[in-house]
Structure 1
């Protein structure tokens, strides 16, 4: 019953333009802020390596395209939204033909949404199948592998499983695009079937406005929470490594050269003292050799004479050459 009734004008109708701008402008501003943050992090040396990824470049291209499209929606929505005129009636009459709607807009949007959904399903099914096969293989060969081999195999995990968190995070973009595109197609088909100005059509039109104009804000939120961008911001928040400037480096080198010059004379003096000590030792050894050469050599007869003329009661004679200690004997030396 309520659907057959026409739409009753209300004060809310005059604020449709405010609703459109209130949803669209925050998305444009947030997209601009995110793009400027991307540019700043890409210009810094500490955060730049975290952004060298193909997925992040594709994200930047998508954000720039979405930002340009959002900016062009402002004058379009301001022209279309408002009191109905001849232009609005011609626009509605154009979309009254189902084949024009399907051939010009709905088919291509549906094809794009289905392509994104198929790609996501293929990727998710491959990850699930690969993980199941890996678990089955581990259950079969775990008993035959040693601890070192199993540890080595744990580190050689497939990239699709190693980075599954990042892959699933990136797939949120096509999922969001599929949800928005499907909802847009359904609403357009409902408008094509219900051209009468009923209350339900008015509510669906408000919902369509919210879906279309809320796309920039949702994409900007997903881009701001991208894993690569978060890692880059974390790298910027870390304290930088302080490196000495050229002036400080020159001052340090001058101090080192001065300290080396001050320690050089003391080293020379130590060398000279060591040389004098070595010369003194050499001279004393020379004198000892000279005294040994001047001593009269003892013959075997003198030794025999000393041994035979020894008084057993008086002990060893004072000028005898008998060895006093067993350590100096020939037997000990041999």
Structure 2
């Protein structure tokens, strides 16, 4: 780096240094955009399997898809925006800020939906359209007037396409009013919602034993507990707690990325590039803007709905492979054998008992694969024989389980 000519001179980074900062941002953005695109392709592949598609039927997952699409367009806009003044620079700055707002607000909606569904027991599916409408309208309201009034363009300080007003004070006002305030508010909202949900989970975990003590001797909740509350339904299946904790990673990443970039943007607008430290902070700022697509793309591959869909596909493939090797076996049917000249009817039934930490549930299975209620064959007394245990237990599908499925689709 070239030192200042004297102690009183303002630090001025060289052209090579500024090119390095821009190239670093591009180098981080392009791989992240590819990762987001691959995540969407993987989602489409899983959704092409009817049995796996049901796992993707969740409000937060659909919002996540919208966020990924926004991140892809953000990465494209970031990569193709020219590094020189012109109409392309003006529109590129508009596109970057618009898609940045869309992606940020969508992830905020995921955190808000978690709190509303789990803590306040609001129907998330009813609010889904409002999440999308508010996100799109707010993003357009913040960026379209800014672009129309010529506030986007070449920023001589950072040598990037950003807010371009030559008046330092007015430029700072536009940055705060149309970007920094709203991005910070979204990140803080995500954090608050996540903390509330995690605290609710902590209290829920401590209340499991008290809920169990309120159960009737038959193991079912008293009639006064119906319709079952969210906490009771979640107690039936701890997988939902894992889903909540993994979705909470999005607000954590958003807080790190968004608050950091807002602080660095304001620092550059206030202090400009007067020292080497300011230049280093600019490099970090551009790096944070570039890495966000990779961060969200990586998180998308760990989404619980996506993983459950893959497990469903693999499970059914293993089942078909196992059944092809056991074509001579006929489970849950009557076999006729002879013993000492007498005919003996023998019922062979394969039943799998799954025992969890909260509840023991009987499930019918063939070669280790859980069946569904629709898969159970019903035998009437007129057909002979008595109703088998797994048939009786499937007939007792509880309201808690039905409510639990509904909650999963609202998350």
Q: Which TM class, normalised by the smaller chain length?
A: 0.5 to 0.7
Counterpart Cα distance in 2 of 1:87 and 1:11: 18
- 2:308 corresponding residue in structure 1: 231
What residue in structure 1 maps to residue 155 of structure 2? Answer: 88
Aligned mate of 1:39, from 41, 44, 54: 44
Contact 2:21/2:286 (<8 A) preserved: no
- Please state whether the residue corresponding to 2:14 is helix, strand or coil: coil
What's the CA shift for 1:220? 0.5
Match of 1:158 in 2: 232
Q: Work out whether residues 47 and 232 of structure 1, in 8 Å CA contact, stay in contact via their aligned partners in 2.
A: yes
Are 1:125 and 2:202 an aligned pair? Answer: no
Look up the SS of the partner of 1:93 in the other structure.
Answer: coil
- Residue 174 of structure 1 pairs with residue 276 of structure 2: no
What's the counterpart of residue 264 of structure 1? none
SS in 2 for 1:47: helix
5+ long unaligned stretches in structure 2: 90-152, 157-162, 222-227, 322-411
CA offsets, 1:24-43, max 9 Å, x none? 11011111111111111111
TM-score normalized with structure 2 length: 0.50
Q: Give the 3 Å change call, closer, same or farther, for CA 72–10 of structure 1 in structure 2.
A: closer
Unaligned runs of 5+ in 1: 243-334
* 2:263 matches 1:186: yes
2:26 to 21, 26, 38: 21
Which structure ranks higher in relative contact order (CA pairs < 8 Å, sequence separation ≥ 6)? 1
Larger Rg: 1
Distance in 2 (CA, whole Å) between partners of 1:36 and 1:61 is 14
State whether residues 47 and 53 of structure 2, in contact with CA within 8 Å, keep that contact through their aligned partners in structure 1.
Answer: yes
2:60 pairs with one of 55, 71, 74 = 55
| TM-aligned CA distance change 1:87 to 1:167, over 3 Å | closer
Question: Alpha-carbon deviation of 1:51?
Answer: 1.6
Q: 1:9 aligns with which of 1, 10, 14?
A: 14
1:284-329 CA-to-partner distances (Å, cap 9, x unmatched) read: xxxxxxxxxxxxxxxxxxxxxxxxxxxxxxxxxxxxxxxxxxxxxx
* Structure 1 position 20, deviation (Å): 2.0
Alpha-carbon distance in structure 2 between the residues aligned to 1:77 and 1:134: 57
Residue in structure 2 matched with residue 69 of structure 1 by the alignment: 74
With over 3 angstroms needed to count, the CA separation of the structure-2 counterparts of 1:91 and 1:122, relative to structure 1, is: same
Give the conservation status (yes or no) of the 8 Å contact 1:47–1:233.
Answer: yes
Q: 1:118 to 1:221 in 2, by over 3 A?
A: same
Other structure's SS at 1:241 match: helix
Contact 1:191 1:201 (C-alpha < 8 Å) held by counterparts: yes
> How many Å separate the matches in 2 of 1:121 and 1:77?
41
The 1:207/1:50 distance shift into structure 2, 3 A limit, reads same
- How far 1:3 sits from its partner (Å)? 11
Contact 1:20 1:77 in 2 (8 A): no
Q: CA deviation at 1:53?
A: 1.9
**C-alpha offsets along residues 143-172 of structure 1, whole Å, 9 cap, x if unaligned?**
xx89x55x556xx96234531111111111
Q: Which protein has the bigger strand share? A: 2
Contact map agreement 1:3 1:199 (CA 8 A) in 2: no
More helix by share: 1
CA distance 1:87–1:68, change in 2 (3 Å): closer
Distance between the aligned counterparts of 1:207 and 1:33, measured in 2? 26
Count of aligned pairs between the two proteins? 232
Residues 45 and 32 of structure 1, relative CA distance in 2, 3 Å threshold = same
What is the TM-score with the length of structure 1 in the denominator? 0.60
